[in-house]
């Protein structure tokens, strides 16, 4: 077994010059919650509508962009090569670009290699193609454990890989965000690009899921 972690320097230079920042918690999650509470208390935001909007972007709109990208790579070898060489431009060619997606790197799962993505210092994440990061991705437990015991973490997600498959962990930073191209499931040769996109899960593009053949349990 040869499990590796790409632990490139993770340097975040965030400027917080505004006096308003001093009134907010330092933890990003608590800060967002504090702002949300203020907006709700002032009647400017409907919490139910906000929750619905977050759910749509996290679980529907965002990941579907990534799924379309993966499906395109499965049916178009030239696009896959472009994606692996310059993910930022390849993704932008499909109309998916913006903040948190300026510098993307795509890594491909194979029969011998399984990739996983983490942000060990905060929650850097390719928003334009995956939507909002899931709560577990931002948790201290995932960020600390995936680089030292990726197989155990995968097992907790229900993924068991043979010992001879290398697991490589990529550390996203403020400068570079990684995304995984999962392997195309068997038994999908006759499926269209749109049908293939429906098979792609958000977690498979983070590396905590392995896609199964259609109809498999």
Please give the DSSP secondary-structure letter assigned to residue 6: E
Q: Of 18, 73, 122, 192, which residue is the catalytic one?
A: 122
Q: Of 73, 124, 172, 201, which residue is the catalytic one?
A: 124
Is 119 in the active site? yes
Phi-psi label, residue 56: left if phi above 0, alpha if psi -120 to 50, beta otherwise: alpha
Q: Are 168 and 116 in contact (CB under 8 A)?
A: yes
Distance between CA atoms of residues 49 and 171, nearest Å: 33
Q: Of 15, 93, 97, 123, which residue is the catalytic one?
A: 123
Report the interhelical angle of 47-56 vs 28-41 (nearest 10°).
140
Q: Of 119, 172, 201, 204, which residue is the catalytic one?
A: 119
Question: Pairing mode, if any, of strands 113-118 and 177-181?
Answer: unpaired
Neighbours of 204 (CB within 10 A): 23
Query: Cβ neighbours of residue 3 under 8 Å, at least 6 residues apart?
Result: 150, 151, 166, 167, 168, 169
Is 204 in the active site? no
Is 124 in the active site? yes
48-70: b (≥16 Cβ within 10 Å) or e: eeeeeeeeeebeeebbbbbbbbb
- Tokens 């899960």 sit at which residue? 201
Q: Which residues are catalytic?
A: 119, 122-124
């Amino acid at each position: 077994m040869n499990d590796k972690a790409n632990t490139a320097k993770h340097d975040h230079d965030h400027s917080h010059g505004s006096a308003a920042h001093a009134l907010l918690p330092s933890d990003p999650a608590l800060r967002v919650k504090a702002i949300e509470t203020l907006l709700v208390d002032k009647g400017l935001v409907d919490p139910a509508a906000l929750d619905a909007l977050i759910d749509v972007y996290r679980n529907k709109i965002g990941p579907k962009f990534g799924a379309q990208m993966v499906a395109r790579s499965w049916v178009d070898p030239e696009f896959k090569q472009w994606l692996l060489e310059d993910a930022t431009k390849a993704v932008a060619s499909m109309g998916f670009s913006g903040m948190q997606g300026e510098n993307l790197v795509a890594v491909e799962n194979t029969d011998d290699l399984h990739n996983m993505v983490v942000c060990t210092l905060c929650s850097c994440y390719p928003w334009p193609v995956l939507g909002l990061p899931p709560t577990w991705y931002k948790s201290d437990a995932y960020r600390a454990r995936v680089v030292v015991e990726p197989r155990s973490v995968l097992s907790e997600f229900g993924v068991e890989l043979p010992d001879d498959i290398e697991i490589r962990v990529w550390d996203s930073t403020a400068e570079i965000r990684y995304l995984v191209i999962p392997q195309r499931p068997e038994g999908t040769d006759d499926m269209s690009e749109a049908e293939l996109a429906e098979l792609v899960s958000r977690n498979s593009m983070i590396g905590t899921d392995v896609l199964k053949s259609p109809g498999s349990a």
